[in-house]
Structure 1
Amino acid sequence: MPAEEAETRHRFAVRANSILAFIECDEEQRPKPREAIIEAMLWAQTQPRLTK
């Protein structure tokens, strides 16, 4: 994995952890939604921006 992609994933993981801090779920259940949040953020980066 390129260093830039690893850094992006790390930043998104930090954001995902922040989001999950507001959701009550067991620590054992957090890896799956965290990975889903990270993948959604990575996907969103590839989408064209909406303009008004």
Structure 2
Amino acid sequence: MPARLTTAAEACKTGPAKGKFNELATMLPLYYEARGWDPEGRPTAATKERLSL
């Protein structure tokens, strides 16, 4: 991913998100957990078993 998406160093300059910072670091772990993935983004053993993989 581009650095602008992986760091919160710069606020959005235009649009509805103007002045807001990227929250990917907060959201990504929650997404991985909801999908049944480990912190590295890989399916857990339980997820693989559930999906018969």
Question: What is the TM-score normalised by the length of structure 2?
Answer: 0.30
Which structure's residues are more often helix, by fraction?
A: 1
Which structure ranks higher in relative contact order (CA pairs < 8 Å, sequence separation ≥ 6)?
A: 1
Question: What is the TM-score normalised by the length of structure 1?
Answer: 0.30
